[in-house]
Amino acid sequence: MTISPGLLESAGMFAQLAVPTAHRWVVIADAAVTARHGDAVRASFADAPTWLDVPSGEAHKTRDTWAALTDAMVAQGHGRDSAVLALGGGVVGDVAGFVAATYARGIPVVQVPTTLLAMVDASIGGKTALDIPGGKNLIGAFHPPSAVLADPLALATLPEADRRAGVAEMLKHGIVADAAHLHHVLAHLDALVRPGAEATVAVVECVAQSAQIKASIVRDDPYERGRRAVLNFGHTLAHAVEAATHYAVRHGEAVAMGLVVEARVAELLHVAEPGTHHTVRDAVRAAGLPEGPPDGISVDSLLSAMRTDKKGRRGQLRCALPQRVGTMASREDQWTHVVPDEVWAAALGA
Ligand SMILES: NC(=O)c1ccc[n+]([C@@H]2O[C@H](COP(=O)([O-])OP(=O)(O)OC[C@H]3O[C@@H](n4cnc5c(N)ncnc54)[C@H](O)[C@@H]3O)[C@@H](O)[C@H]2O)c1
Ligand SMILES: [Zn+2]
């Protein structure tokens, strides 16, 4: 991964260097990002790429979008010697990544994340996905990017709520693997969410640290056969909240709720040391992120949404849980724990 202020202006050139075999390029971009940064990226290619916009928002991370994009690529005559550059947040990264994973049985993808969440998390690790009515990310593939190019200056146009959503995944990285990172992020919250501070040393350092934590966990377990599952901390509940609210909350906001609730689950199951839940809750609170599901979402609706999530095995809900901040609980390389319905209900305060 390369993080450098101003990198968008040479994204095409770096992508071509990363994939020298690609003769043609397709840029799959979030329409809102095209409006703000499209000209700079377009001008960074030696030859004009095919430019395909995706409307903004989780509602477009669908099979219909995948079909429209792949049809357009066929119409433009793209073949196995083409490559994809994904320009946008996690939504476009996931869709464009899945297009690349499946087009002509797989062509290279370069991720150019433009949200904080995508820079520290979604662009790294090779997971690509679509949402279907049955659940979030249920269709997908592992398709690691040939390069990840992050320009912190792109964050200048990102709304504050989307910046905070990105902080949620950074807190997660601290909780699952590095307590010092959690404190570092909390110490620099202001710079992370304040427009104008995008390229400060503090922001670039926090982003790089968070991305490195994710990358090192993925490197050891790329196909999630073991420890990579710790990166799903907070996500069993998060995906259920996203589904139950029809994606009315941002992914990062749902993750923040999941961190707090699943930390409480860990204490109720005596997996986590006492105090872990409060430390996690205080961090989420300090970041100005929500601590629990919105009013009106019943425990039953969350439980049924969780059952369709891919982490439910043999009807049992399993979660990666912390032992303490900075360390996840494991037994004999088993990184997930069965969480009975009554424990979810208690953790959700029912
Ligand atoms: N593949 C993975 O490993 C992984 C990991 C974490 C999250 N995800 C996925 O990522 C998605 C969430 O990502 P996200 O938070 O980036 O959401 P997003 O892609 O929807 O982007 C958030 C908003 O910011 C706008 N935007 C993007 N860049 C901008 C910029 N530079 N300036 C102004 N506006 C900009 C978008 O139009 C959108 O409205 C979810 O679908 C989640 O499942 C995937
Ligand atoms: Zn996530």
pLDDT in tens, 19-41: 999 999 999 999 999 999 999 99
pLDDT score for 332? 86
Active site residues: 105, 127, 169, 214, 224, 228, 232, 235, 239, 251
Residue 128 CB neighbours (<10 A): 27
Which H/E stretch holds residue 293?
none
The finding on whether 127 has its CB within 6 A of some atom of ligand 1 is yes
- pLDDT surpasses 80 at 350: no
Choice from 41, 54, 91, 289 to test ligand 1 binding pocket (greatest atom count within 8 A of CB):
91
- What is the pLDDT averaged over residues 287-303? 96
pLDDT score for 242? 95
Three-state DSSP at 58 gives helix
Percent of the chain with pLDDT over 70: 98
- What is the pLDDT averaged over residues 175-186? 98
Confidence at 189, pLDDT banded by 50, 70, 90: very high
The finding on whether 122 has its CB within 6 A of some atom of ligand 1 is yes
Spatial CA neighbour of 167 closest among 265, 263, 251, 276: 251
Confidence at 307, pLDDT banded by 50, 70, 90: confident
The finding on whether 61 has its CB within 6 A of some atom of ligand 1 is yes
Distance 88 CA to ligand 1 centre (A): 7
Mean of the per-residue pLDDT values for the chain?
96
Quickly tell me which residue has 């912390």 as its tokens.
Answer: 322
pLDDT score for 126? 98
Distance 79 CA to ligand 2 centre (A): 32
Q: What is the pLDDT of residues 233-252, one digit of tens each?
A: 999 999 999 999 999 999 99
Distance 329 CA to ligand 1 centre (A): 29
- pLDDT surpasses 60 at 18: yes
Q: Which ligand is nearest to the CA of 61?
A: 1
pLDDT score for 300? 95
Whole-number Cα distances in Å, 237 to 49, 91, 253, 260, 321: 40, 19, 11, 10, 12
Could you tell me the pTM of the whole model?
A: 0.97
Choice from 251, 309, 311 to test ligand 1 binding pocket (greatest atom count within 8 A of CB):
251
- pLDDT surpasses 80 at 314: no
